[in-house]
């Protein structure tokens, strides 16, 4: 008697620029029963109290951590405008996040579909996903959303955009585009169609 083969898994990378509604869309996938890996949440765990990255960050950037983990403001000031420091920080954080991602994929190996929510997926390389979905909205909608955030300014928004791949380029490289400048029900329906399609796919 032959053993039943594992359920095929499709790894969907979910990304989008600031203010595009990626977190809302990720929550929709989760609500539909799809396991979601949140890269930002992983970074917060790694840099939080007793986080695995805290000791290495303190060694590289003395005075940027405390009992609550990494002081994100102090760390941002320590690397601001210093390309070598940013690369050093990325050399600490990125491998640790990759370990968390690998553990997540292993834990959900039998799921027909999983989502990796990674803000800079296309900027840093998407070789570990089968398909890419980009969350997108009209630039005016994006700007209004971002500038409504506490402490956000037009200057900060421009600086963030400068570090991200333009939305048009992301959409051009995407397998799927999920709009969020439409009624919420339309976005949810788009996600539902995507889940139905990919959960049936055999290996992407």
Taking only the tens place, the pLDDT of each residue in 134-154 is 999 999 999 999 999 998 899
> What one-character DSSP code corresponds to residue 101?
H
* Predicted confidence (pLDDT) per residue in 75-94, tens digit: 988 887 788 988 899 899 99
Supply 90's token pair. 């990325």
The mean pLDDT value for 42-51 works out to 91
Supply 140's token pair. 């005016």
85 contacts: CB under 8 Å, gap ≥ 6: 61, 78, 79
> CA–CA separation, 28 vs 132, rounded Å?
16
pLDDT of residue 201: 61
Residues of each annotated binding site for ATP: 19-24
Q: Does domain 1-35+111-204 have CATH number 1.10.3720.10?
A: no
pLDDT of residue 129: 93
| Residue 150 and residue 32 in contact, taking contact as beta carbons nearer than 8 Å | no
Q: Residue 21: pLDDT band by 50, 70, 90 thresholds?
A: very high
Residues of each annotated binding site: 19-24
Of 5, 202, 37, 33, the C-alpha closest to 121 is 37
Q: Residue 156: pLDDT band by 50, 70, 90 thresholds?
A: confident
pLDDT of residue 162: 86
For the chain, how far is it from start to end, CA to CA, in angstroms?
A: 28
Of 117, 77, 123, the C-alpha closest to 97 is 117
pLDDT of residue 7: 42
């Amino acid at each position: 008697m032959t053993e039943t083969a594992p359920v095929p898994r499709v790894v969907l990378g979910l990304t989008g620029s600031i203010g595009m509604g990626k977190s809302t869309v990720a929550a929709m996938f989760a609500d539909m029963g799809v396991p979601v890996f949140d890269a930002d949440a992983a970074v917060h765990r790694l840099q939080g109290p007793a986080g695995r990255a805290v000791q290495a960050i303190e060694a590289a950037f003395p005075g940027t951590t405390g009992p609550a983990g990494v002081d994100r403001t102090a760390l941002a000031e320590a690397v601001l405008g210093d390309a070598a420091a940013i690369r050093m920080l990325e050399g600490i954080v990125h491998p640790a996040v990759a370990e968390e991602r690998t553990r997540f994929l292993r834990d959900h190996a039998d799921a027909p579909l999983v989502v990796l929510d990674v803000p800079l997926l296309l900027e840093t390389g998407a070789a570990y996903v089968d398909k890419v979905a980009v969350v997108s909205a009209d630039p005016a909608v994006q700007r209004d959303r971002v500038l409504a955030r506490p402490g956000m300014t037009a200057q900060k928004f421009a600086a963030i955009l400068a570090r991200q791949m333009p939305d048009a380029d992301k959409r051009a490289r995407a397998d799927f585009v999920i709009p969020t400048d439409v009624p919420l029900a339309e976005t949810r329906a788009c996600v539902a169609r995507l889940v139905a399609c990919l959960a049936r796919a055999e290996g992407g």
